[in-house]
Amino acid sequence: MRTLKQKKTPAQQEYDALVKQVSPKSEVPWSLVKAFVVGGLICCLGQAFNDLGEKVFMLDKKGVSAFTSMALIFLSALFTGLGVYDKLGQFAGAGSIVPITGFANSIVSPAMEFKREGFVLGVGAKMFVVAGPVLVYGITASVLYGVIYFIVQMIMGG
């Protein structure tokens, strides 16, 4: 890689201008396509687990959704451990972050990285670097909704 201090030749400047002109147009749609395809496929895998839970294991609606989450989380934890999921992430961007598998990945990745800091403050704490905020905001938002829903029910019902 060239350092910033080196002066660019006119040909390189021309090339840079060309790159600037061309890359946003070609890179942005391509990354969207990758996110779309990978995200869509992960959801299809989830749908396959839904069907498996519903038709083979005869689970009820809640059981099906729990089964699918668990199966996807298990696979994501495994493939993050094997180093495969992060490679997928480099390719797919949000396509691998937004599905629930991305949530599991966000738990395993930092926990593995900080293992040398011990099992309590390394693994145990770093697991929640991303998952913690997700749970904090998700649960708090849902409790607020519950309180509002309760009040609305009371007014409407009473």
Of 57 and 149, which has the nearer Cβ to other proteins?
Answer: 149
Verify binding: residue 57, other proteins, rule CB under 8 A: no
- Pair 131, 104: CB distance under 8 Å: no
- Pair 45, 55: CB distance under 8 Å: no
Find the binder of other proteins among 52, 59, 73, 125 (CB under 8 A): 73
**Contacts of 129 by beta carbon, 8 Å cutoff, 6+ apart:** 106, 110
**Closest approach of other proteins to the CB of residue 4, in Å:** 21
Verify binding: residue 153, other proteins, rule CB under 8 A: yes
**Closest approach of other proteins to the CB of residue 19, in Å:** 17
Q: List binders of other proteins among 76-95 (CB under 8 A).
A: 77-78, 80-83, 86, 93-95
Rounded to 5 degrees, what are φ and ψ at 24? -60, -35
- Pair 76, 134: CB distance under 8 Å: no
The full DSSP string for 70-97 is: HHHHHHHHHHHHTTHHHHHHHHHTHHHH
Distance separating alpha carbons of residues 24 and 156, to the nearest angstrom: 52
Of 8 and 115, which has the nearer Cβ to other proteins?
Answer: 115
Find the binder of other proteins among 44, 120, 155, 156 (CB under 8 A): 44
Verify binding: residue 52, other proteins, rule CB under 8 A: no
- Pair 101, 44: CB distance under 8 Å: no
Verify binding: residue 20, other proteins, rule CB under 8 A: no
Verify binding: residue 40, other proteins, rule CB under 8 A: yes
Q: List binders of other proteins among 90-129 (CB under 8 A).
A: 93-95, 97-104, 106-108, 111-113, 115, 119, 123-124, 127, 129
Verify binding: residue 59, other proteins, rule CB under 8 A: no
